Each structure stands twice: as structure tokens, then as C-alpha cells.
Amino acid sequence: MSETATLRFASGEEIGLPVFTGGEGEKALDIEKLRAATGMVTLDEAYLNTASCRSAITYLDGEKGILRYRGYPIEELAEKSRFVEVAYLLMYGDLPIASQLDDFSAILNGSSLIHEDMRHFFLAFPNNAHPMSLLTTMVASLSAFYPVPENPTDEEEAQIIANLMSQVRTISAFSYKKFVGEPVVYPSHKLRFVENFLNMMFSSPVSNYQLDPDIVKAIEAFLIIHADHEQNCSTSAVRIAGSSLANVYAVISAGISALWGRRHGGANQAVVTMLRNIQQSGDDGRRFLEAAKSKDSRLMGFGHRIYKTHDPRALIMKKLCHRILGKPGMSDPMFDIAMRLEEAALSDDYFLSRNLYPNVDFYSGLILKAAGIPFDMFTVLFAIGRTPGWLAHWREMRHDANNRIARPRQIYTGPAERFYVPVSQREKHSVGVMRRSHTKALPVAPRDLISSSMDCG
């Protein structure tokens, strides 16, 4: 007999709620029939205690610091696997055999070019356009060049997935070239996914980019650990947009737009901004730590909304970060400040007692900076890594026989019913009066303000 929970009201009325048990033993109250039986809905602002779907893709336990893709620990995948292999795992449920991996790699390679006419779109953007603004726009516009059938076959679906995974990477590199005013570098069939991206970013007609195996490994791991993270803000945006059966390119563009928010995808930028501010102040970090204790400043890159112990992704990035920063030629005062902050925080009871361990963003920002990734491209790298996860959720939802359009409820807090009054009879003190004024152009925020982040979300 299935387990149920009893919801009892003050009036004495009771209702039984089925209890759903997940694959790792986690439990949820099934409230699907709550409104029909009681006329009530639940109120859970920001959905912090609400499971919006059933998914077989990623398991996350924040209390124990566990993250697994399709059952595989993130630590093993980051150490032993390739990003393309992990993308296949997320998409299709199992690690590929050799022939499957070869076929998947081949279709990704063959799909890496974007339609040449799209080059004109890049020319129309301002020279200083943020790469994320180009990425969201260009991904949405892909549907005009690569029309999606209303009911794609398995083969057509596989091609759509390959297009988006490869073309997000290409568009990202082209966006950077637009940003710095250099000619684009096309993808090469001779290079793997990560090497190809770095070559498109940094190679130019007047200089060859020398691939550093340690940098390649670090970026590979960065993409793997960001490939999925359960029902985060951007993944939820993908599922909500996808539930309307919107075009998949628009759906992924919605995810990119949500990721761009400073509470979500830009947290590693906030770490670099913090370190730069410390460096410019002449402090070695100690005064900043003391200020963080008194809440006069915020210690970016420490603690996490979900993980109440070590962030498993942070431990992976920490190892790679120390390897890269220990390489000859990587000397940077900002890196020295970061290492002192890390050492001081990990030996301070104030931070340890509050589970304020360095999170993935603390190390990933340092790795991207050391790899030469420009500040404004940090969130773009996040988007490249997260695209397979978004697509996996889109595919899972598409094949779910119970898939319905998302339609959350709300608790209305506005005025009760009222009736129209002619304008001549309305009192002057009515709420919401708009004063007449001349329209002025909005000021343009400094780039650092636009790019800064407050939380990893």
C-alpha cells in the first residue's frame, strides 16, 4: 500500500495526500488534487520547497554535498570523462560506447558552423555589445535558418541537439571576436570540442594559439561541472518555456537569458570583482574578512544556497585552480589575495561554523581569468557548459506522456472588486497617479555594474 500523509484543518476536516518517493529516497507530498478537494493552493514563494517535475537526469543533495549525473558522481566524471561524453550521458541516459561517442562527436563537428548569412547579424550590433546579448539573440534567430518540425523524428531531434550544442559554442566565440574587433576564426574538424572553442577565441591571422593541456583540462572540467544542476533558475525557465511547445531555439534562448541574471550565472564574475577591489584598496584580504564578519561587506564565492557543506564542484575546481596558478608565468597579485582569503576563511571558526566554504564560483572565476577568458565571457562559458543540461531537460519533458503546459497559481493581494468611475469624478489622491514629465533617456550603467553578480542563485 502506498504511503500517505494526512493534512488536518482546524475545522476537523482531513485530506490524505499521497507521498511520492524518489530514486534516492527523497520524499514529496503529491498535492495535484489539493485544490479540487479543498479549494486551496500552496504558497511557496520562489518554489524553494516545491518539486516542479520528476526527472531522471541529476541528483543533488545539498546537506551531504552530493551531485550526480544519471547516477555518476560528478567527481568521477570531471576527472575521467570528456565534456562531449558527459553531454551524451545527460541527453540519452548512459555513457556511450566507443562507436556511439564517435558518431556523436562527428555530428557535433558537422553541426558546428552557423549559416554564413548570420554573420551580417553580428555586424549590426554595437562594437561594445556584451557577448551575452549577442548569444541570446543569435540563438533565438537560429530557428529562422534551421526550421524545427512540429513533431521531430528521433533523427531530427538528434540533429537539433547537435546544432545547439555546437552552434552555441561557435556563436560564443564569434561574439567575443566581435567584442574585440577581430576577424572570426571558424571551427576546425581537427580539434575536439574544448580545443576548438579556445582556438576560435584566441587564434588570429597574425598569431597561432598554443593549446595548454592544463588549461584545456580545466576548461573541460569547468564545462562538465556546470553541465547540469537540477531545477535551477535557468533550467526551470527552459522547462516552463518548453512546456508551451515553443521553438527549441527560443526555449534555450530563454535559459540563456535567465542565466545572465546577476543572481545566477555571474557569481564567478563577482569573485573577480571582489578580488580586484581588494587589490586596489591595498589590503591583503584580512580587513575584508573582518568586514564580512560584521556584514559591512559581502564575501563573494563563499557559501552556497543549496550546499550546506562543501560544494563538490568546488573541490574539483580547487585542485585544478592550484595546479594552474602554480604554473610558471601565472603570477598575479589577485591570485595571491585569493589564496590568502581561502586559507584564512578555512581556518576561521566564524566561516566554518556557518558553512561558508569556498564554492565553485570562487575557484572557477580564477581559472577562467588564468586561462585568459575575458571578464565579460565568464557567463558565456557557463552557458556553453549548461546547454547539454538544458537540452536534456527539454528532451526529457518532450518525451514525457504527462507533459502539460506550466501554469503556477498565485495568491492575489490587490484591491477587492471595485467599479469604474469617470475621470472627472475621481479624487486627486487616487493611488498610482502618474505625473506628467518629459521623457529622458535612461543612463547607461558602467560595464562593471552590468556584469557584476550578487549570488550564484
**Residue numbers annotated as active site:** 304, 361
Query: In the numeric block, which cell numbers belong to residue 321?
Result: 585552480
Question: Which 8-state DSSP code applies to residue 256?
Answer: H
Q: Measured between alpha carbons, how far is 349 from 351 in angstroms, rounded to an integer?
A: 5
Query: DSSP string spanning 74-131?
Result: HHHHHHH--HHHHHHHHHHSSPPPHHHHHHHHHHHHHT----GGGHHHHHHS-TT--H
Query: In the numeric block, which cell numbers belong to residue 345?
Result: 576563511
CA neighbours closer than 13 Å in the CB half-sphere of residue 364: 32
Query: In the numeric block, which cell numbers belong to residue 89?
Result: 550521458
Strands 58-61 and 72-73: unpaired
Query: In the numeric block, which cell numbers belong to residue 310?
Result: 562543501
Angle 359-362-363 from CA coordinates, rounded to 5°: 100
Judged on CB neighbours under 10 Å (0-12, 13-18, 19+), 450 is: middle
Q: Measured between alpha carbons, how far is 340 from 283 in angstroms, rounded to an integer?
A: 11
Per the CB < 8 A criterion, the answer to whether 57 and 40 are in contact is: no
**Helices 213-225 and 360-370, interaxial angle, to 10°?**
150
SS3 letters for 139-207?
A: HHHHHHHCCCCCCCCHHHHHHHHHHHHHHHHHHHHHHHHHHHCCCCCCCCCCCCHHHHHHHHHHCECCE
